[in-house]
A and B are shown apart, each in its own frame.
Chain A
């Protein structure tokens, strides 16, 4: 099984943001503690020093303020890239994101097309205290007008960010906290995605497709590598959960005949349900067995001592694949 060295996600997003700030004068960063401190995860380290406090703005401590003023800035022609400090603190911003940012372009009949990016550190697995381990991407994925990205590598985050700042409609990008500093990752096929908004087949296989996204892509790949050569698993890293690149999923299922969806957010009414339903509707004939989902039960993310029981691990993924391919 192969593991490769990689740049930490924080460092690589930092480099992308610096490059974007450098090349587009309309772009600015906005978030709590992102300037002087460089963000609580240091994703924006040194950027205020390099680009100034006008463009790397320490926002007020108010999430609705961050997104609400970003909407106004976007109407004025700027491209705000906002940071919400933790996934669990995105809720005060939901109104501005859902009823305003997502709808402003339509309300203006296309006369403004606000490119507005919201970066949100997400997920658990690092012994965080309450509210610091959430995975609420399915919430925003429900709303037309918002695109939702869940990259699992710095390379993907780079491609997604560069695409997002030109999209002309809001993008929420979830950044897995536990990948910010991780410097090794399971090997991936080098095959590029078809487009910046497409999913990516990160491991070619013949027996079963796993569709997944975000940090847990790493556990899925590790499981897939461990199961080879007995079971040959194809892994689709969705990269975006809204809109979902169903073509790539359906084509993969057409080849393998089996689909498992794995995600870190709880299972009910989640991304996995949407994918399972779409495959049932459009790929049923290709299936050799039922589509299955592997995700935590519907319960609150537990205190750190219990998070191992909550999170889906490599072993559970292997077990599930073996059951499905028996």
Chain B
């Protein structure tokens, strides 16, 4: 499904940023593929793939910059890497070694929260707490489409609105909550729901990292300027099952799956930047080498 972005891009990425967007997307794709391989051979227990959501994650994370604390859900692996979580640190909890493999303070990327939507209230409370102490109060919180049905999400939006908290809600609407389609989860868009709470919002397709970057840069400017919350709803595809334990073929049509794979944002963006001459094969080989090294490191650590 192609959605029209609700307003024009205000902050376009420059060429360095474009290459950075692509590099992060390619790296996390490599990590995600390696995670699947490791899971298949029994080296890690479970993996929640982010394939199809890379543009949304990389675009939003680069747009807000390194300062805001990030409260993720559980599949924001691209954001994690971009923030400086090491690949083996990211993998640790999926291998049963810990509940969180990285130092959340160091990277300001806080632990994954597996109880849906619980992190939304933490994010707003953290932002209020930071503001009360005169510190950086810009906070980003990620949530899936299904999790927005949880009461905590509504409570968090209301709290953020009432307190005028500097919180960016990023809803990655991948169309599915395990097997429940988003159309059966809600009657209106999240963007529209946010406005009902008094939160400015935008809804946009998540296949193009530049569009995501621009929308989130605008959202960030709104948050910093108004000291008020904002919600972006990013429409993405879910290429893999909910997790490695999920047989999505049981509830998705072959057509749907084929279309989602064909709309892969990573290959599309790589082709686009190549076409525009922003990256060449030497550049792509360089990223490939980086990915290969990362995968070797993961194999050494986990296989």
A residues within 8 Å of B by Cβ? 28, 54, 60, 62, 64-65, 67-78, 92, 95-96, 99-100, 103, 106-109, 111-112
Contacts and interface: CB of A to CB of B under 8 A. Distances in A.
A59 to B, nearest CB: 9
Question: Residue among B98, B110, B132, B162 with the most chain A CB within 10 A?
Answer: B132
A107 B99 contact: yes
B118 A72 contact: no
Interface residues of B, number: 32
Given A64-B152, A72-B123, A109 B100 contact: yes
Interface stretch (B8-16, B22-30, B153-161): B153-161
Given A64-B121, A64-B155, A75 B129 contact: yes
B127 interface: yes
Main DSSP-derived SS at the A contact region: helix
A76 B133 contact: yes
B37 interface: no
Nearest to B158: A60
Interface of B: 98-100, 103-105, 110-111, 113, 115, 118, 120-130, 132-133, 135, 151-152, 155-156, 158-159, 162
A189 B297 CA distance: 65
What secondary structure prevails in chain B residues at the interface with A? helix
A158 B110 CA distance: 34
A77 B133 contact: yes
24 contacts: A62-B155, A62-B158, A64-B121, A65-B121, A68-B122, A68-B155, A69-B121, A69-B122, A69-B128, A71-B121, A72-B123, A72-B126, A73-B132, A75-B110, A75-B122, A75-B126, A77-B129, A77-B133, A78-B132, A95-B118, A107-B100, A108-B104, A109-B98, A109-B100
Contact of A72 (B98, B124, B158): B124
A54 B132 contact: yes
A103 B98 CA distance: 13
Contacts of B151: 64, 92
A119 to B, nearest CB: 18
Contact of A78 (B98, B120, B129, B159): B129
